[in-house]
Amino acid sequence: MPQAITRNKRTQIWLTELRASLRLGWPLILTNLAQIALLTTDLIYIGRLGAEELAAASLSISLYHTFMIFSLGLVSATIPMLATVLGRRRHAVREVRRTVRQGLWTSVLICIPVWLILWQAEAILVAMGQDPAMAARAIELMRTLQWALLPYLGYIVLRSFLAAMEQPAWTLIVAGAAIAFNAMAGWLLILGNWGFPAMGLAGAGIASTASSVLMFAGLALLLSRNKRFRRYHLLGRFWQVDLRRLAELWRLGIPIAITFTLETLVFYAAVMLMGMLGTTELAAHAIAMQIVTITFMVPLGFGQVATIRVGRAAGRGQWHDVRRAGWASYAMGVGFMAIAALCLWLAPLTLIGLFLDVSLPSNAPVIAMAVQFLALAALFQLADGAQAVAAGMLRGLHDTRAPMVLAALGYWGLGVPAGAFMAFILGWGGPGIWIGLATGLTVVAVLLTLRWMHRSRIKHS
């Protein structure tokens, strides 16, 4: 009987953790989906312009994402820092304010060099072997899209505060409003409806930039007016730089940024390799990548949940809760990706139809190749989910340097070389590149999971 009671109690504890993680996770997941929906909406509109415009947009967005992800990783260090502080002391107003302000300063500091680099996007793309005509089309989007970076990063910092406070629903409301605005702005500026000029790729960048400004302004207004958050004075005396906290944030954030970038560059390298194979491969890859990026937002959200729940438990010194929080998010993230893999296998044409008209004969080559890519993408959904959540679990313990090294080995020591070898040496083309991606993601997922088991076992003991 005592054993049964203990077993029932343990079950209840796990169920409580799963419910708490899900309650925190669903607004974060929907917010992630809302953010990716901004560019997805633009790509849907651009797809109506034709395969060449879609391919050019893929080049531009991939390059922008590379620098955006690095910057995002840098400011994302605010989440584990805030979670640990709040775990130690629920109402640590001054410590919270210091972290958020330096996160905003980090956003400004990183944007300046990134803007200078992205302004030369056309030359960069040509130097990387892309067709000059395609690079010239891609710059049309980049010149208006790159300005979205600063307000977007500011939004991420404010969102991190709300997430660490376990109040992420507010960010979902703001992001939902931004989606509606972006959909209307894209419809007007990309396609030229209601008398607006049809600006094509440039219009997509304007719509995304305006939407990012709206997201940051919405959260800033909320935090300055809501009684619960106003007492933190997060935006007051913004000009005061705290060099000690800024350095602490960068020490934790740079490994996160590099890890994010290593993963992103794998997919960007795949875009570059696809561009060398041809426009058909590039357009099909753009569609498949956008679809798997959407599914990835769910385990990414559970990774954020793991960072917060693990960080707060670690701040309290409750190591049983640390392990439980990590594994609960891991189970939900990987479980969802198993369902996503089935969808990619069973309904590829339905998904592809969101981006291209499947009834047009001229789109048939792109659609056929995108179906192949989605079938291969289904193979690495579990691994992609596992590595995303495991990385978040480790960030909750402020463990960021080892994951950076493991990502470098898995993605660049194996994934990219394997994909290039199969695509060009063995002659497998686009499918070979996707098999390489699957290989790299699987290796990183296994290594990060083993790392978590080791670190959490030490703390647990």
Report DSSP letters for 313-357, one per residue: HHHHT-HHHHHHHHHHHHHHHHHHHHHHHHHHHH-HHHHHTTTS-
Q: Token digits for 419?
A: 């994909």
Choice among 17-26, 114-123, 147-156, 252-261 with the minimum mean pLDDT: 17-26
Closest CA to 318 of 448, 456, 130, 125: 456
Q: Could you tell me the two tokens for 164?
A: 């660490």
**C-alpha distances in Å from residue 93, one per residue of 38, 82, 87, 90, 229:** 33, 11, 13, 9, 10
Q: Which residues contact 364 (CB under 8 A, 6 or more apart)?
A: none
**Contact between residue 403 and residue 253 where contact means Cβ atoms under 8 Å apart:** no
pTM of the model: 0.80
Can you tell me which residue has the tokens 């099909």?
A: 284
Q: For the chain, what is the mean pLDDT? A: 86
Rounded to the nearest 10 degrees, how much is the dihedral formed by the CA atoms of 397, 398, 401, 406? 30
Q: Look at the block and give the residue holding tokens 């080049």.
A: 59
What value does the mean pLDDT take over residues 88-106? 83
Mean pLDDT for the stretch of residues 172-199: 88
Residue 86 tokens read as 């709040």
Average pLDDT over residues 442-460: 85
* Amino acid in the structure at residue 438: A
- How would you class 318 by CB atoms within 10 Å of its CB: exposed for 0-12, middle for 13-18, buried for 19 or more? middle
Given a contact cutoff of 8 angstroms between Cβ atoms, the answer to whether 230 and 223 are in contact is yes
Residue 69: which residues within 8 A CB-CB, separation 6 or more?
257, 260, 261, 263, 264
> Rounded to the nearest 5°, which phi and psi values hold at 283?
-65, -40
Cβ within 8 Å of residue 43, ≥6 positions away: 54, 57, 61, 286, 290, 355
As to burial, measured by CB atoms within 10 angstroms (0-12 exposed, 13-18 middle, 19+ buried), residue 91 is exposed
Which has the minimum average pLDDT: 42-56, 215-229, 249-263, 400-414? 42-56
Lowest mean pLDDT among 82-91, 92-101, 187-196, 368-377: 82-91
Q: How many helices (H) and strands (E) does the chain have?
A: 19, 0
**Given this model, what pLDDT does residue 234 score?**
83
Say if residue 7 is exposed, middle or buried (CB neighbours under 10 Å; 0-12, 13-18, 19+). Answer: exposed
What is the per-residue pLDDT across 314-333, written as a single tens digit (0 to 9) for each?
888 788 888 999 999 999 99
Amino acid at 110: I
Cα-only R_g, the chain:
22
Structure tokens at 160: 């991190």
pLDDT value for 404: 92
pLDDT for the residue numbered 90:
62
Closest CA to 191 of 210, 183, 144, 362: 183
Per-residue pLDDT reduced to its tens digit, 328-362: 999 999 999 999 999 998 888 888 888 777 778 87
Name residue 142's amino acid.
M
Is pLDDT of 1 > 50? no
Question: DSSP H helical segments within 149-200, as ranges?
Answer: 149-164, 169-189
Tokens for 355? 């981006």
Least confident of 48-52, 106-110, 118-122: 48-52
Percent with pLDDT over 70 in the chain? 97
Taking the CB of residue 425, how many other CB atoms lie within 10 A of it?
9
The 3-class secondary structure across 11-74, one letter per residue, is: HHHHHHHHHHHHHHHHHHHHHHHHHHHHHHHHHHHHHCCCHHHHHHHHHHHHHHHHHHHHHHHH
Tokens 């130097």, located at residue: 127
User: Is the Cβ–Cβ distance between 160 and 75 less than 8 Å?
Assistant: yes
Instruction: Give the Cα separation of 140 and 201 in Å (integer).
Output: 6
Residue 266 confidence (pLDDT) above 90: no
**Residue 360: C-alpha distances to residues 15, 41, 169, 324, 356 (Å):** 50, 21, 41, 51, 9
Give the pLDDT mean for 276-283.
80
Place of tokens 């953790």: 17
